Structure 1
């Protein structure tokens, strides 16, 4: 099972402690997939600062292929994080060198050697998804909580597994998943925080709850869910089993500080 993730990375800096943890949706998904047993690579840019070195080393130590991580003159992306009752609140985000991220033809060809490619709403990789699909790649994309972004309208024809972050199972999110499916997605999925998850395949909705777990830090919960779901689909599991695997993967993540 071979997966490549593309786009944003950032150092999550916790204001209270000053500690910094590597993160970013594509990075996190690659790390979680590796922990599940997949072969994963990450394509992205870091700066020429100490955070860039920390990012590359941390990803490598998790077993992710970093041969296509490029150092660019400037700063690695940083997100300020504040903890409020064990839930993380994002503050200022400095995109650093990732603001100008693009892929070379060689990197696009490199991605074509994998089964599935994943990116997210802040990854600056959405414009390459039509090409990924033309190369025969399975595609997944995290829209996060940006449910009104223009990409929700334009990208689903090129995304097999779109993921959304929402709060509850209601008519609004069900309607959105139905629309996204009709635009071309295979299975549209929403994570609902403490209310579990929801998926739609064009015929019916599937729901799954969350288990009892002591929450230390919710950082990375959605990304680990995505990794579990993707892993399950590539293994040929049912949608229900993929939702269950996503929830189990997320439950482990929220038991410690940082995304991983």
Structure 2
């Protein structure tokens, strides 16, 4: 797969420390990058880590799973760390989040030019995401752009806006409407155990969640995003892409961490 046929994932990373348990690599954008690599071929990750052991752990995890790290940069300061407590039901409770150098990460003009060489760009948690999308659109008008709008703001210029609302359908419909009125071409809303819905303002699609014995919900939404993007890139219609995302999310709920480690 050539550079022009790759996915770029831009945004956050973290080291997830489970209280009383193991330590994993994660983060919204990084989880999507790894899951996409497992599903869809060539993926490049763009983000920032500190020059510390945690940063080296993140770089090593990406490389060992075949994710391109030419967009991973070192910044002065600590790598992001998240402390997580799991409930008996497998739900996660964030005890502490230290965003470290990801809090100030903004791709340079040179990095933006490299990102624009890809055919699909997905944005996780990214400061000034709306400005980044506008810059990228000016440079590459035909590129496909998606964003996790649960962690980054703005809808203008997005081909796909991923939102998350919980199980309430009316709240999900309002979120989809807000994304479409804000300029997104397609709104995709995950609803936890109630599955997911999508709308482009003309047609609506819904899928149910895949039953699973939940071990840990960390990264389930990121995995859904990866499954959806991989399916759409292969030409799968929207409903099939929702179902593909639900299957990948269910697999992730069956193990600790945002991807197998």
TM range (shorter): over 0.9
Provide structure 2 residue ranges, at least 5 long, that are not aligned to the other structure: none
Does 2:143 align with 1:137? yes
Provide structure 1 residue ranges, at least 5 long, that are not aligned to the other structure: none
Does 2:112 align with 1:108? yes
Change (3 A) 1:125 1:23: farther
Equivalent position of 1:240 in the other structure: 239
2:51 to 42, 48, 53: 48
Contact preservation (8 Å) 1:6, 1:125: no
The alpha-carbon deviation at position 217 of structure 1 amounts to: 0.8
Map 1:76-225 onto structure 2 (within 5 A): 76-85=79-88, 86-120=90-124, 122-124=125-127, 126=129, 127-134=131-138, 135=140, 136-144=142-150, 151=153, 155-225=154-224
The ranges of structure 1 where at least 4 consecutive aligned residues each deviate by more than 4 angstroms after the TM superposition are: none
Q: Return the TM-score normalized by structure 2.
A: 0.92
Equivalent position of 1:71 in the other structure: 74
Taking the aligned partners of 1:26 and 1:143, their CA distance within structure 2 comes to 12
The alpha-carbon deviation at position 195 of structure 1 amounts to: 0.8
1:35-64 Cα shifts (integer Å, max 9, x gaps): 003210001111111111000000111110
CA RMSD of aligned residues (A): 1.4
Does 2:257 align with 1:258? yes
Report the 3-state secondary structure (helix = DSSP H, G, I; strand = E; otherwise coil) of the residue aligned with 1:109. Answer: helix
The alpha-carbon deviation at position 175 of structure 1 amounts to: 2.3
Contact preservation (8 Å) 2:106, 2:126: no
Taking the aligned partners of 1:179 and 1:222, their CA distance within structure 2 comes to 20
The alpha-carbon deviation at position 114 of structure 1 amounts to: 0.3
